[in-house]
């Protein structure tokens, strides 16, 4: 009988799987936070328009809020395929991490945050 995992007994496999679940839940929580922020930005833009306040948020708020909500949905949706792939790697006989997807996702979030900051600064 061939053992799965990277050795060390049942406790190591359990610890790795629980860490995988925690990481997945953190990505889902981040996505949900982004969705909430996007919703709030959109509603603040609507309030500015309702009260006639001239701000950058009034001009770009709806599009910016929608962009942040979509980004949150993408982050939350990317959590499940990452979870399944990490689970398969943990269960395989030879564990080999692949940080490329994580780095790409973090890089995309950083670029998105910079775009938002530039839009808010330029629109003043």
Joined together, the tokens standing for residue 24 give: 């997945």
Max alpha carbon distance in the chain (Å)? 73
Q: For residue range 79-90, what is the model confidence (pLDDT) as tens digits?
A: 999 899 888 888
Reported as type and span, the H/E element at residue 114 is helix 100-122
Dihedrals φ, ψ of 119, to 5°? -60, -40
The string of pLDDT tens digits covering residues 73-120 is 998 998 999 899 888 888 887 777 778 877 887 888 888 888 877 876
* Tokens found for residue 87: 């689970």
Instruction: Enter the pTM of the model.
Output: 0.72
Please, which pLDDT band fits residue 34 given cuts at 50, 70 and 90? Answer: very high
Cα–Cα distances in Å, from 44 out to 39, 49, 68?
Answer: 9, 9, 14
Other CB atoms closer than 10 Å to residue 65's CB: what's the count?
A: 22
Domain coordinates in residue numbering, the chain: 10-122
Specify whether the CB–CB gap between 6 and 95 falls below 8 A: yes
């Amino acid at each position: 009988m061939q053992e799965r995992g990277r050795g060390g007994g049942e406790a190591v496999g359990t610890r790795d799987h629980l860490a995988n679940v925690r990481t997945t839940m953190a990505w889902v929580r981040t996505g949900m936070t982004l969705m909430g922020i996007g919703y709030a930005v959109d509603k603040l833009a609507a309030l500015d328009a309702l009260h006639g306040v001239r701000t950058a948020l009034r001009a770009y708020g709806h599009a910016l809020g929608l962009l942040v909500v979509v980004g949150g949905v993408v982050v939350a949706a990317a959590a499940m395929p990452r979870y399944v792939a990490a689970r398969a790697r943990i269960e395989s006989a030879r564990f080999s991490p692949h940080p490329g997807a994580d780095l790409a996702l973090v890089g995309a979030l950083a670029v998105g945050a910079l775009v938002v900051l530039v839009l808010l600064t330029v629109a003043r």
